[in-house]
Amino acid sequence: MRIQRDHRSPRLRGVRPLERADLANLQAKSATRRITRLRDSHHMIAYLIAGGYNLRQVAEMVGYSYSRVVTLSVDPSLVDLIAEEREKRHARLDPEVDLNFLTSSRIYRKSLRTIEDHFDSADEANELVPLPRALAVASDFADRIGIAKKSINMNVNVDFAAKLEAARRRSQRVLDAGAGVEG
């Protein structure tokens, strides 16, 4: 059985000399979030790692930070997925798939750079990008960087008079019960 440290809530419990038993705690892995549901992005990461790309290249291609890709790459679910992808690759080596992905990635990065250049040019010229256009771009990118639109509908029905009446009845029952007890 492995001991896991909780990385979210470290507590200083005092200062004392280190003992041999403390070494086990220092070597214990931190509890980290695990992948609960494999998404398309996880499959793409596994595909790229299985294809021999290093983690920095993978991070650049999928748009995640390097540290996020490193964290994902050691998750047991993704390790299994990478192994599956390697088996698939050995079963059918298709250089066109890699070429198509790389071409698509380059085109995507160029289109992002073009959009960025457009906004930079507008800034330099002290012009405003029309609001509908800026909103469309922001909305389009939001879900790709983890800021998807969310709608949270919460219906709260607070009937103050009914709650007050219920509290009055409860307190009356307490008073009635207390009046029956003579001391």
pLDDT of residue 58: 92
* Span 30-72, pLDDT tens digits: 656 677 788 888 889 999 999 889 999 999 988 889 999 999 9
Task: Please state whether 63 falls in left (phi above 0), alpha (psi between -120 and 50) or beta.
Answer: left
Q: Work out the widest C-alpha separation in the chain, in whole angstroms.
A: 94
User: What is the per-residue pLDDT for 162?
Assistant: 80
Rounded CA separation 118/124 (Å): 10
Average pLDDT for runs of 10 along the chain of length 183 = 54 75 72 75 90 91 90 90 84 65 82 88 90 86 68 67 84 75 54
Give me the residues paired with residue 141 across strands.
none
pLDDT of residue 66: 92
Q: Measured between alpha carbons, how far is 12 from 17 in angstroms, rounded to an integer? A: 14
Q: Between the CA of residue 181 and those of 137, 169, 174, 175, what are the distances in Å?
A: 73, 19, 11, 10
Q: How far, in Å, CA of 87 to CA of 3, rounded? A: 33
Q: 90: helix, coil or strand?
A: helix
So what's the pLDDT on residue 36? 77
Q: Are 47 and 81 in contact (CB under 8 A)?
A: no
Task: State the pLDDT at residue 127.
Answer: 92
Residue 4: the pLDDT is 56
Report the C-alpha gap between 4 and 110 in whole angstroms. Answer: 44
d(CA 96, CA 111): 22
Token pair listed for 162: 């009914």
| pLDDT value of position 1 | 47
- Amino acid identity at 101: F
pLDDT at 56: 93
